[in-house]
């Protein structure tokens, strides 16, 4: 198994979990079988270029960000995460999020 297959798979898993998606939901959004997501995340298979484009769009990151194999999130990823959480939050969670951001800033 290629080191890079494992790193890419691990990165996709990291982003999927960051966004609170199950393998099944991610597979549905990509248009592939859930077992394919599992095989990609385990480093057994490489995703196609089309799939990489779809992963990037779903995770709201640039394609190159899928190949950032460090544990640190890029500024784009952090912004995308905050935007996604704010857009999906109910009123109570949104108030809490705004309160926390105001306290930090």
- Cα-only R_g, the chain: 15
Place of tokens 């996604």: 84
- Domain residues for the domain of 26 are 3-104
CATH number, domain of 33, equals: 1.10.260.40
Query: Looking at the 3D structure of the chain, how many domains does it have?
Result: 1
pTM: 0.68
Model confidence pLDDT, tens digit, residues 24-36: 999 999 999 999 9
Amino acid 29: pLDDT: 96
70-77 own/partner pairs: CB under 8 Å, 24+ apart: 73/18, 77/15, 77/18
Cα separations in angstroms, 81 against 31, 57, 72:
22, 13, 13
The predicted-structure confidence for 63-89, as pLDDT tens digits, reads as follows 998 988 766 667 877 888 888 888 888
């Amino acid at each position: 198994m290629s080191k890079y297959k494992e790193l890419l798979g691990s990165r996709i898993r990291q982003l999927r979990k960051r966004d609170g998606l199950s393998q099944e939901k991610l597979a549905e959004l990509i248009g592939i079988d859930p077992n394919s997501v599992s095989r990609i995340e385990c480093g057994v298979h490489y995703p196609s270029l089309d799939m990489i484009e779809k992963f990037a769009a779903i995770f709201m990151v640039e394609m190159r960000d899928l190949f950032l194999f460090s544990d640190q999130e890029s500024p784009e990823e952090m912004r995308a995460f905050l935007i996604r959480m704010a857009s999906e939050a109910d009123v109570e969670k949104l108030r809490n999020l705004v309160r926390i951001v105001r306290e930090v800033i």
